[in-house]
Amino acid sequence: MAPEERPVTKLLQQWSGGSKEALDQLMPLVYDQLRKLASRCLASERPGHTLRATALVNEAYLRLVDSDLDVNNRVHFFAIAARLLRQILVDHARTQNRQKRGGGALNLTLDEAILVAPGESGLVELDDALQRLAAVDRRKSEVVELLYFGGLTYDETATALGISPATVHRELRMAKAWLFTELADG
């Protein structure tokens, strides 16, 4: 374990053990990485999106404070954070779409390297497709979530899921093909 990861892992273990103070000490250590994750999540949103990276991180923090999670290590924490950030964006998009009475859903395309979800309607469609994929193959859905919403590397994703980086690559290729077909049919 890298020296800079030790305090994070120690605080995560204390937090998992029930120490809410540990989360307060942890946040300054992981805040910059969480902001990068939030910025990455927001990068594919429509211009002028009402949420900002700071607000997204703050909302994630509030949800973490109220949760009773068992976090194993730094990679596991960022995987959980990625899932939270995605869920916050999806909740926000669903609220906005309800207010607009469905407001013009957009079709999504699948870029060769990344998933692009244009605007809030696209994010809802992508989330729905990822949930359907999870029902068929949970691991493929988790690979997409960790790589694209979580910003984890192939190696970190492999560690988080307990698989090899080659398997991550293979699962991602199959997940992208599945999502492309699913979103094209929608």
pTM across the whole model:
0.62
CA 144 to CA 181: how far, in whole Å? 15
pLDDT at 172: 93
Can you give the pLDDT at residue 40? 79
Amino acid in the structure at residue 96: Q
Position 165 scores a pLDDT of 93
Give pLDDT, residue 49: 67
Q: What digits encode the pLDDT tens for the residues 112-170?
A: 323 444 444 467 788 888 889 999 999 999 998 888 777 788 998 898 889 999 999 99
How far is CA 140 from each of CA 37, 84, 134, 174, rounded to the nearest angstrom?
A: 20, 18, 7, 8
Look at residue 147 in the predicted model and tell me its pLDDT: 85
Q: Where are the domains of the chain?
A: 3-185
Average pLDDT value for the chain? 78
**pLDDT tens per residue across span 30-41:** 888 888 888 877
Question: Which pLDDT score is estimated for 85?
Answer: 85
Contact 178, 133 (CB under 8 A): yes
Which of 18-22, 89-93, 153-157 is predicted most confidently? 153-157
Of 165, 169, 166, give the one whose Cα is nearest residue 113. Answer: 169
What are the C-alpha distances in Å from 117 to residues 54, 129, 131? 20, 12, 15
pLDDT digits (tens, 9 = 90+) for 71-80: 878 888 888 8
Contact 68, 131 (CB under 8 A): no
Question: Token digits for 138?
Answer: 């949970």
Highest-scoring range by mean pLDDT, 3-12, 53-62, 127-136: 127-136
